Structure 1
C-alpha cells in the first residue's frame, strides 16, 4: 500500500497541463471545482495503472527473472522524464480556459478526459512499477486491490494538498512558482532514478 501511495503521488505530481488547469480553477473559481478536476485526473491515472498492471501481469515470470534489468530500464525512463520535466514549460500545453462548468461532475469529467488524452503516461507508470517492484509473483489478489486503491488515494491526496495550498497562497501564486515546483519534482525523480539505476546495475554485475 505504501508503494501504491508513492506511485499515485508521483504520477500526479508533475505539473503539466492538468496541474495548470487545477491551479487555474483554484485561482478563478475556488478550491472544490479544482479538486474535483483532480479527482477526474486521478481516476484516469488509475485506469492507466490498471491497464499497465494487466498487461504486465501476464509476464510475471519474466519480471521475476529479469527484475534487475527492468529496474535499470525503469530508472532510465524516470531519469529521462526528470530531464524533460526540468526543462519543460508547465503552461505550454495548457489550452485556453473557456469552459466554466456549472457542476462538480463537469469538473470531474474534464479532468478525466484531459488526463486520459495523454497515453504517454503509460511509459512513466511502467517506469514507476518497475522501480518500486509493484508487480511481484508473491503478491496475492488482495495485495493488488489494496495497491491500486492506494494509487488512487495517493493521487487524491496530492490534488487535495495542491488545491489546499494554492487556495491558501492564491494572492502570491504565479507561474514562477510552477517552474520552481517542477524543478524540485524533477530533482526528486532524478535522484530516485539514479538510485534505482545504480542498484539495478550492482545486482546485475556484482
Structure 2
C-alpha cells in the first residue's frame, strides 16, 4: 500500500474514534455553547494529542506482536471485529447529558487542552478501541518494520481527529440553541452503527475468504 492510502485510512480512523459522544465531546460541546468556536477547538486539540499517543502505541504494538504471531491474522481480525461490535453496542446505549445552564470556565489554550488531554488519556477504553481497529485492519495496516508507514497512519489519525473537532466546534457554535441531549443520543447512535457495521464487514470478509 502507498503512504497516501495509509494516511487516508488513518484519517477515517481518527474521525471514527473521535465521533462517539463521551466526556471530552461533552466538554467541547459545552465550551462551544458557552464560549464559542475557539475554546471548543482548544479542548479538541487536547484529545487529539491523547489519541495520537494511543494510535502510536496501538499501531507499533500490533506491528511488533504480529512479527511473532505471523499467520494468526485471522484470529486478530476475529477478536478485533468482536471488540468493535461490543464498543458499538456500548456507544449506542450511552446517553450523554449536556448541562447548558452550567458554568464553563475558559482557561486558555493550555488549560483547556490539558484538561481534555488528561480526561482522554485516562480512558482505558480508548486504547482498546485503537487496538481493535488497527488489529482488524489486517493487510490494510503497515507491515512490521514499516515505521514510516506507521507514522504516516498516525499522522492521518491526528488529521482526522482534528478535522472532527473543528467540524463539531463550528457546527455547535452555529447551532448552539438547538443542541440537546436528544441530539447527542442521535450522534452516538450513528457512531455505534458505524462501529457495528465495521465489525460485521470484517466477519463478512473473513467468511468470503474462508468459503469463497
Same fold (TM over 0.5): yes
Output one character per residue of 1:175-204: Cα deviation in whole Å (capped at 9) or x when no partner.
110011111111111111111122124434
1:116 to 111, 116, 121: 121
Q: Which stretch shifts more, 192-201 or 19-28?
A: 192-201
Query: 1:198 aligns to what?
Result: 204
Q: Which stretch shifts more, 64-73 or 190-199?
A: 64-73
Query: 1:7 aligns to what?
Result: 13
Aligned counterparts of 1:121 and 1:102: Cα–Cα separation in 2: 25
Query: 2:64 aligns to what?
Result: 58
1:130 to 124, 132, 135: 135
Cα distance change of structure 1 residues 176 and 82 upon mapping to structure 2, 3 Å threshold = same
Aligned counterparts of 2:42 and 2:163: Cα–Cα separation in 1: 12
Output one character per residue of 1:72-104: Cα deviation in whole Å (capped at 9) or x when no partner.
211110100111111112239x9x966613311
Query: 1:172 aligns to what?
Result: 178
8 A Cα contact 1:69 1:204, kept in partner: no
Cα distance change of structure 1 residues 55 and 138 upon mapping to structure 2, 3 Å threshold = closer
How many residue pairs match? The answer is 204
Shift of 1:205: 5.3
1:77 to 83, 87, 91: 83
Q: CA RMSD in A?
A: 2.2
Cα distance change of structure 1 residues 18 and 83 upon mapping to structure 2, 3 Å threshold = same
Shift of 1:111: 0.9
Aligned counterparts of 2:164 and 2:66: Cα–Cα separation in 1: 30
8 A Cα contact 1:68 1:203, kept in partner: no
Shift of 1:137: 2.3
Shift of 1:32: 0.8
8 A Cα contact 1:27 1:167, kept in partner: yes
Query: 2:3 aligns to what?
Result: none
Shift of 1:49: 1.3
Cα distance change of structure 1 residues 68 and 119 upon mapping to structure 2, 3 Å threshold = same
8 A Cα contact 1:83 1:186, kept in partner: yes
Q: Which stretch shifts more, 24-33 or 194-203?
A: 194-203
Equivalent residue of 2:124, what SS? Answer: coil
Write out aligned runs for 1:18-167 (5 A).
18-62=24-68, 64-91=70-97, 100-133=105-138, 135-137=141-143, 140-167=146-173
What stretches of structure 1 of length at least 5 have no aligned partner? none
